Amino acid sequence: MKHRIEQAGWNRQEHFAFFSQFDEPFFGLVADVDATRAHARARELGVSFFQLYLHATLAAVQTVENLRYRVNEHGEVDCYDQINVSAILSRPDHTFAFSFVPYHADLTAFGQGLAAETEAVRQSTGLRLTPETGRPDVIHFSALPWVSFTGLTHARSFTRPADSIPKISVGRLRSAGGRQLLPVSINLHHGLADGYHAGLFLAELQRRLDG
């Protein structure tokens, strides 16, 4: 479900109009979160660390309204009640494909959907560009477990209709001061959200990783 944001009187009306004129309206940042407890908890629960932190990421997104805003094909802003995930999933031959995994508050139920999509990707070829993987009520998510990055950019097209979907990526864990740190990159449409909202998301993600 979704509802329309009435721009007349909206406190972001001018911000949205201003940044929507940009060729590149997105801004991004990278920050570390402490995944020490989450990494241990994944082992205790018998689930993959990927499943646990992807679920925590998606749960955190639900709590920040601005991360649930999307620009529709008419240039209007919709707010979705629930955000799911279109995650990059890999195959044994090192190619990847897009997926669609619905959000469930329950980690086990979410994991079942993730496992089904992981297997579907492994049995497929190509990018799996479908109406389902291309839905607007998602975040675009990718994991780079080979690199503990400090910066990240995304391939983007400026000739297609405006994109407003948040892009969240995580890198490889690294040890520092007895902690396991996880780099998180978040890119947001600046007409819909600011650094404040990115900060809210990261704080909520940390809370959920801590369990």
Distance, in Å, from the CA atom of 72 to the CA atom of 135, rounded to the nearest integer, reads 11
DSSP character for 11?
A: T
Distance, in Å, from the CA atom of 72 to the CA atom of 189, rounded to the nearest integer, reads 13
Residue 158: the pLDDT is: 74
Residue 161: the pLDDT is: 66
Distance, in Å, from the CA atom of 169 to the CA atom of 8, rounded to the nearest integer, reads 34
Domain 2-210: which topology? Chloramphenicol Acetyltransferase (3.30.559)
Closest CA to 174 of 39, 54, 77: 39
Is the CA virtual torsion 175, 178, 180, 184 positive or negative?
negative
Distance, in Å, from the CA atom of 161 to the CA atom of 25, rounded to the nearest integer, reads 13
For the chain, residues with pLDDT lower than 50 are none
Residue 210: the pLDDT is: 98
Residue showing tokens 């801590």: 210
Cα distances from 72 to residues 2, 103, 110, 137, 190, in angstroms, run 11, 21, 27, 11, 16
Interstrand relation of 96-98 and 84-90 (parallel, antiparallel or unpaired): antiparallel
Q: What are phi and psi of 191, to 5 degrees?
A: -75, -20
